[in-house]
Amino acid sequence: MNKLVAANIKMNILTLAERERYFASLKEEFRKRKVENVEIVLCPPFVHVESFKKNIKMKNFFVGVQNIFQEEKGPFTGEVSAPMAKSAGADYVILGHSDRRKYFHDTDEQINRKIILALKSGLTPIVCIGENAGEKKSGKGEEAVFRQLKGCFKNINSVQMEKIIVCYEPVWAISTNNPDHLPTSNEIMTAKLLMKK
């Protein structure tokens, strides 16, 4: 299996002019580099997904969305469904990101529903899991990760699991330049073992 690098562009690229500069910069950067044995997934804001799909034709590059709603269609103002994301050109979808859990209160149950809909629509889910600082400090980090894994992957069979990417990103380690706040190899191995359960 190839390595995968996913870039969550978040709520950036605010204008069409910024988007064009992003494309030019990206193409220039990768003209100089040979990208082999790695898949690169770019996850722009949804309004740019179709344009990313049309403009980034480089080998090993894919487009993803930053979230989908837990229903396929209906009266859900402002939401994007899995079929809409796929139709716009997305190949991947980020689910369970700490921003979504923090600001939008996404639950493991909702993430589970989103995973099922993503797979049904032909999207590859990138499911984020990880404990927060309070859980780590209280010694409940493993319990939190296990709870997320159990809730997010409820009723997901082994064939479906092979189509899912699990991203362990402890919330307490995000956006820090302090090496003391990075996960240790033991913490990463523990997360891997929990994922195998």
150-178 pLDDT, tens digit per residue, is 999 999 999 999 999 999 988 888 765 55
One domain, residues 163 and 95: yes
One domain, residues 18 and 102: no
One domain, residues 5 and 93: no
Q: What is the CATH number of the domain that holds 170?
A: 3.20.20.70
**Cα(110)–Cα(191) distance, rounded to whole angstroms?**
22
How many domains would you assign to the chain?
2
**CA–CA–CA angle 41, 44, 45 (5° rounding):** 150
pLDDT reported for residue 49? 97
Domain interval for residue 165: 71-197
pLDDT reported for residue 99? 95
One domain, residues 100 and 113: yes
* Coil, strand or helix at 71: coil
One domain, residues 113 and 190: yes
**Neighbour tally for 122: CB within 10 Å:** 13
One domain, residues 53 and 75: no
One domain, residues 26 and 93: no
One domain, residues 77 and 54: no
Catalytic annotation, residues: 97, 169
Only one residue has tokens 């480089």, namely: 58
Only one residue has tokens 């302090």, namely: 178
pTM above 0.85, yes or no: yes
One domain, residues 139 and 116: yes
For 100-117, how does the pLDDT look when each residue is reduced to its tens digit (9 = 90+)?
999 999 999 999 999 999
One domain, residues 101 and 197: yes
Q: How many residues does the chain have?
A: 197
pLDDT reported for residue 35? 77
**Residue in 97, 81, 79, 90 with CA at minimum distance from that of residue 10:** 97
One domain, residues 103 and 32: no
**Residue in 126, 119, 117 with CA at minimum distance from that of residue 95:** 126
Q: Splitting the chain (197 residues) into consecutive groups of 10 residues, what average pLDDT does each group show? A: 89 95 90 84 97 90 97 97 98 97 97 98 97 90 93 96 93 66 52 50
One domain, residues 25 and 76: no
Domain boundary at 11, 43, 66, which?
66
